[in-house]
Structures are given as structure tokens and as C-alpha cells.
Amino acid sequence: MKSKKSIIQSAISTLELEAAAIMNVARNINDDFEKVVTSILQCKGRVIVTGIGKSAIIAQKIVATFNSTGTPAIFMHAADAIHGDLGMIQIDDVIICLSKSGNTPEIKVLVPLLKTSGNLLIGMVGELSSFLAEQADLILNTAFEKEACPHNLAPTTSTTAQLALGDALAICLLECREFNEADFAKYHPGGSLGKKLYLKARDLALSNEKPSISPAAPVKDVLIEISKNRLGAVAVVDNGNHILGVITDGDIRRMLENNNTIEHLKAEDIMGRTPKSIQHDALAVDALEIIKQNNITQLLVLEQNTYFGIIHLHDLLNEGIV
């Protein structure tokens, strides 16, 4: 059993080796990298990314990143390619082949078949004297000193270098395409990430009741309206549906603390006159920011200058925005 000190040192050594490998990849960025980016931008088809073993797993991640940032891509397993999957390659596609050594049997079988199709072949490889490097039209250099594995066997440093270079390629393409937050939201509609980019205040307000009351309403009616809608607040509005104020659970508690009798009180007597609000077409994540900054749990939603509805902090929690 290793000591606590040696365990910590092992982790640090691994990370230092992998960080050094990434810096080495950065130093090896050259004209071929620029040509790869330009070729993909000009490509009328998809980017086919292939590999074997651990490189295949990294290839899948690169494909996922490409697809989510505006570069259409497909993963093709190198072993499956020679058993029928070569049929997915179309004439306008660009191919990226990942390999640590560039000399595995599967790669040596696959590469000549890829060359016959006439597609641009990009080799992401760590050995520049390898079969893949010699056959590729362009090279993305992932050369590294040694694996983090103490036996220099398990792909660790090599796959980190591939992953980092794949990210660098994806981000360059993203920037060249001027891929923005709206584009990102289009490709990420699910989960909290997508919701932060497209979910609007109106979407949340429409799922709630729309509690409102007149300024002359007695306190009893206020209590009924707040309890009925279970949002912990009610908007006080005039005849034109313009907001005059808001009454929250907290206002009710303060009213009870400060008054021996409440029969004479009306909504306008206890309402907050400067309620926080947001326009209905604003992002839900902006509503969350207002709620956090003001330490409140409800937020009024407006359509121009009229009352649209209420957002509760729980709505944001339920949508995973928080």
C-alpha cells in the first residue's frame, strides 16, 4: 500500500507529464494545422474521424465536440471500417485518422483503403516516421515524450495530447465560423446548459397562475389570493393591468407583527411599491441573477409596461437553471 505522500506525488507526476505533452503539442502547431482548419471550413461534406483502441474513444469525443460547435462530423471505428463502414464516406468528406503510433495493423489495412477514395486524409499521430504519417496528406502532430503509465504502456499522455489537439481544432473552427451563443443553444436544447441559453422568462411565467388584486382589496382577499396560487406573492394592479406593487408572504408577516387589527387595511397599505421585475422576453438565467442580487424568491414578469406573470425561485430550480 502506497503512503499518502506517494499517492499525492503520483497524481502530480501524471498531471505534470500530461501538461508537458500538451505544451509540446502547442509548440508543434504549424502550417499543416492551418491547412486542416481551412480544408474543413471549405469541406462540403462531413468530417469523418476514425481510430482504434483508446484513440477511437478520443475520436468519438472529438466528433461530439465538432457536432456541437457547428462542424458536422461522424465517427467511424477503424476495425468496423474494413467490414462495411467505409460506405459512410462520401466524396466531399474529410477524414481524420487518430493513432498513437501510426503503425497498428488495423491502421495499415485501413489507410490504403481511405487513400483510394480520394478524400483528404489527415493523420493525428505521434510518430512522424510512421505509416500513417507518411500516407497522410496533412499531419496533426501529437508527439510526446512518454506515457504517464509507469510501464509506458497504457495510453494516457498520448490520448491527452489527442484530446487537447482535437479541442484546439474545434475551437479554431468555431471561431472561424463565428459560432455564437444562439448557435450553441440551437445544438444544445436539452439540459441546464441549453435552458440557460434559450429558456425565457415568459416560458416560466406561463406555467404559473397569474395572481393579481386591486389596490383597494381588503387584506382577507389578499390572503386568499396568495394562498390559492401558491407562489407566495400577488401583484397589485390597476384597471389597465399596470403594476402598482407586490405583496409577498414576508409583507403579510410584517403586517401581522406591526398591527393589532387588520380589518381596516387594504392591499395598497401593505404592498411593496418598488417590486423587482423583468421583461417577458428576457432569458430565465437573467431572472435568476435579479433574484440572487436582491435576495428575493419571486420576480414579476412584464410585457412592455403591463403585468404578464410571476416567476418563483422554485421554477428556476425545477428547470435546473440554478
**Domains in the chain with CATH codes:** 4-179 (3.40.50.10490), 197-319 (3.10.580.10)
Check residue 193 and give its pLDDT: 66
Average pLDDT, the chain: 92
pLDDT band at 109 (very low <50, low <70, confident <90, very high): very high
Residue 194 has pLDDT above 90, yes or no: no
Check residue 98 and give its pLDDT: 97
pLDDT in tens, 157-190: 999 999 999 999 999 999 999 988 777 767 766 6
Mean pLDDT, rounded, for 20-26: 95
Annotated binding site: 77
Residue 286 has pLDDT above 70, yes or no: yes
**3-class state of residue 101 by DSSP:** coil
- Percentage of the chain lying above the pLDDT 70 cut: 97
Task: Please give the DSSP secondary-structure letter assigned to residue 86.
Answer: G
Check residue 152 and give its pLDDT: 85
Which residue, among 286, 160, 154, 264, has the nearest Cα to 220 in the 3D structure?
Answer: 264
Check residue 188 and give its pLDDT: 65
3-state SS of the chain: helix, strand, coil percent to 5?
Answer: 50, 20, 30
* Dist CA 284 CA 279 (whole Å): 10
| DSSP per-residue string spanning 169-206 | HHHHHHHHTT--HHHHHHH--SHHHHHHHH-BHHHHHT
Name residue 120's beta-bridge partners. 94
Using CA atoms, how far residue 220 sits from 109, 141, 257, 266, in Å, is 82, 75, 16, 9
Contact 301, 278 (CB under 8 A): yes
pLDDT in tens, 116-156: 889 999 999 999 999 999 999 999 999 988 999 888 889 99
Looking at per-residue pLDDT, the higher value among 92 and 263 belongs to: 92
Q: What dihedral angle (degrees, nearest 10) is formed by the CA atoms of 186, 191, 195, 201?
A: 140
> What's the predicted TM-score (pTM) here?
0.71
* Dist CA 87 CA 82 (whole Å): 10
Name residue 213's beta-bridge partners. 236
Which residue, among 110, 72, 109, has the nearest Cα to 94 in the 3D structure?
Answer: 72
pLDDT in tens, 221-239: 999 999 888 899 999 999 9
Annotated binding site for Zn(2+): 77
* Dist CA 19 CA 13 (whole Å): 10
Check residue 180 and give its pLDDT: 80
* Dist CA 165 CA 12 (whole Å): 22
Contact 226, 252 (CB under 8 A): yes
- Return the amino acid letter for 176: C
